[in-house]
Amino acid sequence: MSVAKFSIEIDEFKSIEELDAADVKLLQLAQKIAENAYAPYSNFYVGAVAMLNNNQIITGTNQENASYPVGTCAERVLLAIAATSFPNIPLKTMAISYLNKNGLNNHPISPCGMCRQYLLEYEQRVKQPIRLILGGQVGKVYIIKSVADLLPLNFSADDFKK
């Protein structure tokens, strides 16, 4: 038997003030766009903003539904917009933020498991890493160089090959 070890490298910043101007712009827009989410059940509003390779900026917010689990996360809303409106144009960077009306807003959140898989497939499809900026309304900010780092034991199209 052997032991396999997987690790992830995350750049951690004390606050948004330590980021470069382009990253500040994306994260601030994600913080603001979170207010547009439809989250009447959880009161947990999520905003996602992406810069595409063509420098277009697109946004998405989570959309809840009384018929749980019909809702859709902000990341998947954004990727559906990207795939429909800008097919095959890679995302350079995606910033994700949230507004928790029931509690704290002071630490980064990470995409859920379903969104990680969805983001990874998009990253593989366009053959370019998606850089992630994760932050709350205040506090620490994480930057992750590739979605693949969040899902080292992933399921992909390669698993269908014979």
CA angle 34, 156, 69 (to 5 degrees): 40
pLDDT at 103 > cutoff 80: yes
Residue-wise pLDDT for 76-98, tens only, equals 999 999 999 999 899 999 999 99
pLDDT class of 37 with cuts at 50, 70, 90: very high
Helix (H, G, I), strand (E, B) or coil at 16: helix
- Among 9, 75, 121, 123, the active-site one is 75
For residue 93, give every residue at least 6 positions away whose Cβ sits within 8 Å of its Cβ, in sequence order, or none. 22, 23, 26, 50, 51, 130, 131, 132, 133
Query: What is the distance between the alpha carbons of residues 158 and 135, in angstroms, rounded to a whole number?
Result: 32
pTM: 0.95
pLDDT at 145 > cutoff 90: yes
Residue-wise pLDDT for 59-68, tens only, equals 999 999 999 8
- Whether 121 sits among the annotated catalytic residues: the reply is no
pLDDT at 73 > cutoff 90: yes
Which domains does the chain show, CATH number per domain?
Answer: 21-150 (3.40.140.10)
First to last CA, the chain: 27
